[in-house]
Structure 1
Amino acid sequence: MSVSECKTPWGRALALSFCVVSASQFSLQVEASSSDATSSFSGACSDLVSQNAPEDVEQWLERSIYASHCYTFQARAVSIDTLGVRTLALSHRIHEGVRQQVVQHLDGPSVSVERRSQAGQLAWFESSADSSPSSPDKWISHVARFYDIALEDEARVAGRPAVQLSFVPHDEQRYHHEWWIDKETGLLLKHVLSDPQDRVLETFQMTQLQSPEPYRGKISAEIPYALPEPEWQVAWLPDGFIDQPIESSDGGVEQRFFSDGLASVSIFATPVVHTSLESGIHQIGISSAAIEFVTVGDQRWQLIGIGELPSSQLLRIVQSVEFK
């Protein structure tokens, strides 16, 4: 089975669970930055190999963001969560500024998930007059407002020297993240997600990184997506979650997408025609799903929230949806 485009909220949720490395490295399909910022990003890709090794948290975070957009590679990895243990084959290619990420499941039924996005597109955060809202420094500044970030210099993953970054949230409204970043390339080698009680929810780890090469081509300043404007709004979100531009949905499904820089939440609204899912909390790999129903006039709507947040927070988000 090949999953290249997901037409339903559940299909997109499964793709989210499958594309572990994509989620961890912020391959968000969001609005690109200004042409000046994008040109700078392109230059950073070509100069990545010659740069000096990062010396602090901020430099390692910036290096990891550039690396996730600038390197082509093949890899083997394992993902461990409530669904079990999965062995994955990862491929990341860049052609004419477009990233192609493929995750293949090597256990059980043949499943392949493919995502394409413009290189250089980052999460959308608050802007100022003198900088792009999509710049790496804006992302770092935003994440640091909601997480304490600690650096441990000596680590080793998949036989490669690495540094460990720990993101401890300031509140219990979000999860604890740990990253292990390859010293040579800046690529993410390992990601552990834990709940407020320090229980490990998900572990993603590369077991072999093959042929990483920096991309030396140009990165376009194309702006493909915009903020959605559905007939409803989310009235409550945890602090720091910001509305993200996304690709237009189809098939009658309306979507909003939010991120605090590490965690993400998608809200889907679908008219109920025939069958529907049961209301309540569901678990899909590392993501929880909250389902609620609301009637507006003669139309009944099914609301689905999917994200890497405690289930109580996700349910509160879904229950706050208001139709215009």
Structure 2
Amino acid sequence: MAAVVSCRCSSRRGRLLASLCFVGASLLPQTVVAESPSPFSCAEVLSQPSPATTQEWLVMSMQAGHCVDFQARAVSIDALGVRTLALSHRIRDGVRQQVVQHLDGPSINVERRSIAGFFAWFPSEAPESESSPARWAAQVSEYYEISQQDDTRVAERDAVALQFSPLDNQRYYHAWWIDKETGLLLKQVISDAQGRVLETFQVTQLHSPSLYDGDVARGAEVEMADHPWQVGWLPEGFVEQPSEQGQQQDGQRVYSDGMAAISVFVEPLEQRRLEERVHRLGVSTAVVSQVVIDGQDWQLIVIGELPLEPLQRIANSITFE
């Protein structure tokens, strides 16, 4: 699940570090802004019967990310080390404000704002369902086998465990632990095909979750990127995501399969350039390359939570009009 929203970091070391800030932001539930067909009441969402299937748990979890205010403490463990985080999520006047504060090491704060009730967009035979939680859950189930594991406890809360096994070798394995009461994501583990854990995120304390008192998804205009370059290949199931009108970043496209996200940046090369190589950013990998088109130097960055091979293939498929 990827987002095209504002990201603000205290450290300023170029676009690649900004992408690292997005890694921190990914610890909160993410969606890409796209028009939702109709408003829904948060009170009605959490008053429904307990989910009976894996897809129903996914729908509840997605809706909870747009309906529940909370404060939390969490820990993130990956190749970059162990980080302690303070999380804040609140909805005001239909707008989600999500803040991740790194409590260890350099001061990094990530703030994301997006319109509540707008979900990742995926093609559907019924246009009105293209950005609904149910369509997102159906998209995920097309490319991952989802199984429900034994119930457990996380951060002193009862949780449902879901395992996501990719149906090809282009993706990672995911495991989620969802809070039974609120639907919030309490723990996430990402691992590769060999079973090596690449990232663990876990809430250690969840403080005073409360339901947003109102409706969400009141509608908004969206736009697709218009750039003089194209991505010629993507893993099956990855769809370009629209952004809220006025929020499109220059030289950037975002793609998602419902679980993982790929960001592609194409920019004219300036004096400061990233080294042309593979950069490891925790669970994310960035492939940086440079090309010359009609005498102009361009820098290409492909970053995502995918194995290296598909990211390199994406980078090699970029063409200019």
Sort the TM-score into its range (normalised by shorter chain): over 0.9
- More displaced 10-residue stretch of structure 1: 152-161 or 190-199: 152-161
- Offset of 1:12 from its aligned partner? 2.9
- 1:205 corresponds to which letter in structure 2? Q
Structure 1 pair 104/310, CA: closer, same or farther in 2 (3 Å)? same
Structure 1 pair 290/84, CA: closer, same or farther in 2 (3 Å)? same
- Offset of 1:8 from its aligned partner? 4.8
> Of 1, 5, 23, which residue of structure 2 is paired with 1:17?
23
Equivalent in the alignment of 2:283: 286
Equivalent in the alignment of 1:248: 248
The 5-angstrom pairing of residues 53-64 of structure 1 reads 53-64=50-61
SS at match of 1:3: coil
- Offset of 1:26 from its aligned partner? 2.4
- Offset of 1:153 from its aligned partner? 4.2
- Offset of 1:291 from its aligned partner? 0.8
The unaligned stretches of length 5 or more in structure 2 are: 1-7
- CA contact under 8 A between 1:94 and 1:100: conserved in structure 2? yes
The 5-angstrom pairing of residues 3-82 of structure 1 reads 3=9, 8-22=14-28, 25-28=29-32, 30-34=33-37, 36=38, 39=39, 42-43=40-41, 45-82=42-79
Equivalent in the alignment of 1:301: 298
The 5-angstrom pairing of residues 116-155 of structure 1 reads 116-129=113-126, 131-155=128-152
- CA contact under 8 A between 2:36 and 2:217: conserved in structure 1? no
CA deviations over 1:87-107 (Å, ceiling 9, x no partner) = 001000100000000111111
Q: Is 1:323 aligned with 2:320?
A: yes
Quote the Cα distance in structure 1 between the aligned partners of 2:120 and 2:11.
21
Root mean square deviation, CA, Å: 1.7
- CA contact under 8 A between 2:11 and 2:107: conserved in structure 1? no
- 1:304 corresponds to which letter in structure 2? I
> Of 258, 263, 270, which residue of structure 2 is paired with 1:273?
270
Q: Is 1:204 aligned with 2:201?
A: yes
**Aligned sequence identity (%):** 50
CA deviations over 1:169-210 (Å, ceiling 9, x no partner) = 011100000000001111000000001111100000000111
SS at match of 1:316: helix
CA deviations over 1:23-82 (Å, ceiling 9, x no partner) = xx2233x22223x2xx1xx22x12233221111111111110111111000000000001
CA deviations over 1:284-317 (Å, ceiling 9, x no partner) = 1221000111111021100000100001111110
Runs of 4+ with >4 A deviation? 4-8
The normalised TM-score by structure 1 is 0.92
- Offset of 1:219 from its aligned partner? 2.2
Equivalent in the alignment of 2:97: 100
Quote the Cα distance in structure 2 between the aligned partners of 1:218 and 1:293.
47
The 5-angstrom pairing of residues 180-195 of structure 1 reads 180-195=177-192
- Offset of 1:130 from its aligned partner? 5.8
- Offset of 1:127 from its aligned partner? 2.4
The unaligned stretches of length 5 or more in structure 1 are: none
Equivalent in the alignment of 2:4: none
Structure 1 pair 256/4, CA: closer, same or farther in 2 (3 Å)? farther
SS at match of 1:103: strand
Structure 1 pair 225/3, CA: closer, same or farther in 2 (3 Å)? farther
- More displaced 10-residue stretch of structure 1: 69-78 or 269-278: 269-278
Equivalent in the alignment of 2:260: 263
> Of 176, 179, 182, which residue of structure 2 is paired with 1:179?
176
Structure 1 pair 75/287, CA: closer, same or farther in 2 (3 Å)? same
- CA contact under 8 A between 1:31 and 1:245: conserved in structure 2? yes
Quote the Cα distance in structure 1 between the aligned partners of 2:22 and 2:272.
24
Quote the Cα distance in structure 2 between the aligned partners of 1:218 and 1:237.
36
CA deviations over 1:221-240 (Å, ceiling 9, x no partner) = 33243110110000000000
- CA contact under 8 A between 1:31 and 1:124: conserved in structure 2? yes
The 5-angstrom pairing of residues 215-226 of structure 1 reads 215-226=212-223
The normalised TM-score by structure 2 is 0.92
